[in-house]
Amino acid sequence: MASTGVPASASGRSAAIPGITNLPTPARLTVGIVSAGRVGTALGEALERAGHVVGAVVARSAHSRRRAATRLPDSAVLDLGDVVARAELLVIAVPDSELVEVVDRIADSGTLRPRTLVVHTAGAHGVGVLARLTALGALPLAIHPAMTFVGTDDDTARLAQACFGITAADEVGEAIASALVLEMGGEPVRIAEADRTLYHAALAHGANHLIALITDAVAALDAAIGGPDGSAQAATVDGDPVRLAERILGPLVTASLQNVFDLGRDALTGPVARGDAAAVAAHLDALRALPGGGAPDSLAEAYRMMARRAAHQSDAPHPVLDVLEPR
């Protein structure tokens, strides 16, 4: 295994970390999960597969309790203070907007033991958000899996192909965070405390806005397939219109996604890449003819802004840029 950057003692051996032996791999730890949502249960399963024990979880909703019973059946469902009291490794897997409140509740509970490893999974935060717990003697870690979770067993398997953005207060924390990620099969990537927001913005732009983009493309294609009479029945030889837009777009979008990862901006094809201003103008006219197509937040306006971004990236000629100016 590659070096983790753990400081060495004068004898050349790795410096001791309370609760951790056999560096760089953490010893078997008792894990507490707050809470048993999609992320928390997936990480809990992955940690158990690595030899740790999820002793207790917080699961407030009926859905979360069912999920915990199914995927972490040997874990007790307890109140927050009791979960914190039992944990050597406390994983706070709550939405970003709830993290500060949960940290305050943990600090106020009086049950956090010094030297507890406290991990949160929020992408936009580093370890500063855990300051109250650090002041109580916890070792703070930010470990964010860069993937989307759907709430099934597949989430746990996919963690093994995921990168994790890790942030810690020092090299010792980085070594522990890296070891935990490696145990789950993932790839740890160091993100500086000051860069967590930018890191999170990049992931949101690439993943969340892709959803909006494809949803728009499906809507426009559905309108085109439906034709003037609004029926897609006649568009295929076998008359099967079910998810036809998705079937058309799927191979194209999948290939484009792989191409951009392989080639970067050189993967761009289509009228912007060719400098075909007339085709781009015709696209905008067609999209603006859709219901609501003239609104500031319309599909046509989204196309114009994305096309203008692509034009700048590809050094498109001025006629293309002119067509893409706001109206």
Interval 154-193: pLDDT, tens: 999 999 989 999 999 999 999 999 999 999 999 999 999 9
The pLDDT of residue 13 is above 60: no
The pLDDT of residue 146 is above 90: yes
Q: How confident is the model at residue 27 (pLDDT cuts 50, 70, 90)?
A: confident
- Residue type at 36 in one-letter notation: A
Mean pLDDT of the chain: 90
For residue 2, the model assigns a pLDDT of 37
For residue 21, the model assigns a pLDDT of 39
User: What's the pTM?
Assistant: 0.86
Which region among 17-31, 52-66, 71-85 has the lowest average model confidence (pLDDT)? 17-31
For residue 226, the model assigns a pLDDT of 82
- Phi and psi at 40, nearest 5°, equal -60, -45
| C-alpha gyration radius of the chain | 25
For residue 240, the model assigns a pLDDT of 75
